[in-house]
Amino acid sequence: MKKIHIIYNPQAGKNHRLDELALALLTRGMAVSIFPTEQKGDAEKEAHEQCNAQVMDALISFGGDGTLNEILNGVMRSDKRIPVAVFSAGTVNDFASFLEIPKEPDEFADMLLDWDVHPTDVGKINDRYFINVFSCGVVSTVAHKTDRQLKAVLGSLAYYLEGMREIATQGLAGRQIYLRSERYLYNGEYYLCLISNSSSIGGFSKMAPKASVNDGRLNCLMIKKAPMAEILDIITKLLAGKHITNEYVVYFETQKIRVETEDELDVDGEHFQSGPIDIEVMPGSFDMLYPMTE
């Protein structure tokens, strides 16, 4: 009998589906336990303890990208491993969407009947880890500035509305950034910088169109300071993933990169410490459960 431990965030936008998920797992012969988080850091601590105990066969992250980030850090701090699956219960679940993980409880439970464990790349940022994206610049901090009730009602649309508000209040004044990798060096003005593990960021499925979670590389996308006409061109091409062809967009793959900026930093939708940071990829270091794609 497979033993499944659900770590769930009661503040997640779709927490009403927790009972449906638990029932779907139970009816398929799995043993289920549930751990609700109460404050920031609880999911990380619980994941770490479960890894050390080695009683459970798998952990389920029931929440958004922030919940998954905490579980990732808890697992990575242990010298033992438990595979992790992600059930989309947050406002925007970029990483789960990228992996095409089933969103319905019954389909999700079916996936766990005969699961595939996939060694997955993660990013390391100083002494912390991220599963999806590091960001800085204009609208990069939208996720944690958006009203929680608005997110629950409007979903990803709430992020877009907050993003428009940020642009309206901040304007498009250029910010300073210093980037250095084995392939690229830049010191100048910019609007947005993303260092991503997957292609799905902020609800845009092709933001980093060449990204893969098992290629041993991270994707860096930076939008330099540009005229408004060029910004509009970039925006109109986002859905198709063609924005990287714009001359003001820098896009490349890297294994290590250093970032220096005075702007706020965001990791998987949460505030991160300020100051110079070093980012590197940790190839195949996180075991995940998701469907095998062709």
- Residues with a known catalytic role: 270
DSSP 263: S
What is d(CA 122, CA 197) in angstroms, rounded to the nearest whole number? 7
User: What residues form DSSP beta bridges with 3?
Assistant: 31
DSSP 61: E
Report the SS3 class of residue 89: coil
* DSSP secondary structure string for all residues of 90-118: SS--HHHHHTT---SHHHHHHHHHT--EE
Cβ–Cβ under 8 Å, residues 178 and 260: yes
Q: Residue 145's closest CA among 125, 167, 130, 124?
A: 167
* 135: exposed, middle or buried (Cβ count in 10 Å: 0-12, 13-18, 19+): buried
**Tell me, what amino acid is at 196?**
S
* DSSP secondary structure string for all residues of 193-204: EEEESSS-BTTB
Report the SS3 class of residue 175: strand
Cβ–Cβ under 8 Å, residues 85 and 291: no
What is d(CA 34, CA 141) in angstroms, rounded to the nearest whole number? 30
